[in-house]
Structure 1
């Protein structure tokens, strides 16, 4: 991706120079000091494990959508975010409420806020949930929002990889946009190879681009995956959900853990699966509490994992550390519908990003509330170019690991 450097404004000032009272005095252009350029600097941390965050780009508001309606992931079947309670909270399809309020995933201010919070929590990169390239249902919107996210990742200094959802491939065929499910998937892979796999900040493992699959669900034979990857060079380091790699055969390099029922399943994965896998990703999560039944979005899954005031996250992080893995996937940044969000909320504040920061051993001070203040000022002064320029500078200080200067800049506004 093209790096969008953040530059301080450069002006040329005309100064009147010469001897006092001299009629021959002249205007001479004086150039201000060179523009200040901010290059992202990695967060220093003591935990050598690679920490990746599972991320959703599927949120739309009534301001961002083409039809003026809130997206499904804020409404499900029966919620109306246009209804606001006395506390100022919109009626959304979740038991929990984002600290910055419900948002559009393609909003640059939102993306900036999320990425800075993750950076200062010690997160190395994002694993982006992705539905492919076709214009069916909300898949195109998810793709476009992901592109907005990816465009800013390099400026912040974070990596990324794709988590491919093959479950909806039959919808592409049914819509007449591809002849077969494997054909649709091959087109999606061609897009990733052309637009993502060669990015400098795309995650590579064993010199191959990392690709996760949430399944397999539709493509359930090794022959299908061999066909899907046939035009890729190099082939990806391909990970399936736990216990599913057999469906991809030799195409799979390993598996990743997820969240299910209770922590016993995570312990079983560590004890029984990882020894046989070339690549294994552990998981850590704060809890699980879906809104499907209340939101009319489907049946309740029949189980919950209590957040326990952060104890569940502590336990699953410790389990992953003790398993001796090189990689952990945090589940999730913002799946509000399933209640697995690590994003700051009204209910939990910044508690979860603070716990991740401790786990990572981040060696800089806690500036989460200041990052939140940057977002608030962005929205309060949307039409003020001078203030936005100052906020751009604060962003530059944050990404270049100069948080004291970032806070100083915010205090000037």
Structure 2
């Protein structure tokens, strides 16, 4: 009896684990495929007929995806959607296609599914040391990079999942974005690009700022454009929140390509209030915790930018009713005195900050803390800020008035590079909320980056920049194809080492429809 039970269970398990295949009750005798042979580069490949499926017996060699139907045996007088002599373009990876066969009298038909596979050669990636673009100016270029972008493939935080995986006020509207017309990036527009609220569309389409493919693409573009330092917004709050998680991911790539970086302590009030931090004591405690994370995770890195040996820490776009609160001495006392504080928008003198109306923080005449702030900015390096044109802010419905101090043309380029400033601050690399980007876009291509390049008299060309874009697009086209991903790993190594001819040659062997 025990033997019978075990045998019975075995029969049930075996039956339940077998893959279910849709097989026609009976294949019409006058609508059959009897044989199939497909030739790749002169080499024939046979397919075994299994009911209504044709399975490749030996694999194609990965490479040429255009193959020819060299033999196709059909029932007498039958016709098919694919014929002998037809050229078929296969997918990038293992896949299938359909052949429909119709009987001579047209009364019967049968659909066949053809499965094919690839044999991938070995490919070993050679790690290369990072090299820097040759520069003649000693002026340091800072790019303000925003990591607050997410897509469903990578979204993990509650802030992201509320908008179907797209972060609010970047690709879609935030919950409290008055006047914003929401968009759905899952929908493709007529031009083939995803819907989003920005007037300016990313050249690579909507992306996730925590995606390593995107971060490598961005880091290479920055290197080629002569950017020295990446200023990363960081809330130092919830570790899964994009303004904390994405800079951590970018740091790893920046370390690898040899770019320096600094942090903007950004959106502290928003993050802390969102997660239940309401009192000044709570705010100070949250900032203390964030700063400790900066010290252990970032400041000790040789790639973290330092001024006179001190880590360069700036403050981002927060505002309060008490404008002085963010940088008042009480709050700054929580920070290590070894840090160098700087508001990126300080320009060249402290007076430039007074009554600016930007709402980040203010300096007032005869304030009791003026001596404190004058000491900070009086000893700070001088920064010259430039920005590309800003278009309608899709989030709030207002338009930036780009005044002469932001004028961005060849004359101002010359003034910028020849100024007495220590840094040139690019604001912003990717501010799609305000449609203000140096990052390549559908609207303007590589125009903004080429101006930064020409301003510095670099030898980088637009075709060089396109290598990074080509690498990213092929990463996405060949998702899951490990052989090609390894080739693209090597392309990345060539690009970070400025072996551009080698990168261009290898990319040319990877087709992109």
- Taking structure 1 as the reference length, the TM-score comes to 0.77
- Shift of residue 61, structure 1, vs aligned partner: 1.1
The corresponding residue for 1:103 is: 207
The corresponding residue for 1:204 is: 306
Gap regions ≥5 residues in structure 1: 1-31, 256-275
1:338-349 equivalence runs, <5 A: 338-349=434-445
The corresponding residue for 1:406 is: 503
- Shift of residue 71, structure 1, vs aligned partner: 1.3
The corresponding residue for 1:223 is: 329
**Kept after mapping to 2: 8 A contact 1:240/1:254:** no
The corresponding residue for 2:237 is: 133
**Kept after mapping to 2: 8 A contact 1:124/1:159:** yes
The corresponding residue for 1:155 is: 256
**Kept after mapping to 2: 8 A contact 1:169/1:184:** no
- Shift of residue 57, structure 1, vs aligned partner: 0.3
- Shift of residue 329, structure 1, vs aligned partner: 1.0
- Shift of residue 221, structure 1, vs aligned partner: 5.3
**Kept after mapping to 2: 8 A contact 1:113/1:371:** yes
SS in 2 for 1:211: strand
Structure showing the higher helix proportion among its residues: 1
- Shift of residue 318, structure 1, vs aligned partner: 3.4
* 2:482 counterpart of 1:385: yes
The corresponding residue for 2:184 is: 80
1:115-153 deviation line (CA, Å, top 9, x unaligned): 111110111120001122236xxx722211111111100
**Kept after mapping to 2: 8 A contact 1:320/1:328:** yes
> Pick from 429, 443, 449: which aligns with 1:353?
449
1:184-199 equivalence runs, <5 A: 184-199=286-301
Alpha-carbon separation, structure 1, partners of 2:487 and 2:303? 27
1:337-384 deviation line (CA, Å, top 9, x unaligned): 112201111110011111111112223554011221111111111111
Alpha-carbon separation, structure 2, partners of 1:47 and 1:183? 42
Gap regions ≥5 residues in structure 2: 1-121, 175-181, 347-352, 354-360, 364-368
Alpha-carbon separation, structure 1, partners of 2:213 and 2:455? 27
SS in 1 for 2:430: coil
Alpha-carbon separation, structure 2, partners of 1:253 and 1:349? 42
> Pick from 313, 317, 320: which aligns with 2:416?
320
- Shift of residue 240, structure 1, vs aligned partner: 5.9
1:5-404 equivalence runs, <5 A: 36-66=126-156, 67=161, 68-72=164-168, 73-77=170-174, 78-134=182-238, 140-165=241-266, 166-168=268-270, 171=273, 174-175=276-277, 179-214=281-316, 217-218=319-320, 219-220=325-326, 222-229=328-335, 232=336, 234-239=338-343, 241-242=345-346, 243=353, 250=372, 254=376, 276-292=378-394, 297-300=395-398, 303-305=400-402, 312-366=408-462, 367-404=464-501
Alpha-carbon separation, structure 1, partners of 2:345 and 2:403? 23
- Shift of residue 287, structure 1, vs aligned partner: 1.4
SS in 2 for 1:155: helix
Alpha-carbon separation, structure 2, partners of 1:248 and 1:103? 43
User: Which range moved further: 362-371 or 98-107?
Assistant: 362-371
Distance 1:167 1:86, change over 3 A: same
The Cα RMSD (Å) is 2.9
**Kept after mapping to 2: 8 A contact 1:169/1:181:** no
User: Which range moved further: 336-345 or 76-85?
Assistant: 76-85
Alpha-carbon separation, structure 2, partners of 1:228 and 1:216? 18
SS in 1 for 2:183: coil
Q: Which has the larger radius of gyration?
A: 2
Distance 1:245 1:209, change over 3 A: farther
The corresponding residue for 1:271 is: none
Distance 1:98 1:35, change over 3 A: closer
Distance 1:252 1:64, change over 3 A: farther
Give aligned pairs, total: 349
- Shift of residue 407, structure 1, vs aligned partner: 0.8
**Kept after mapping to 2: 8 A contact 1:238/1:253:** no
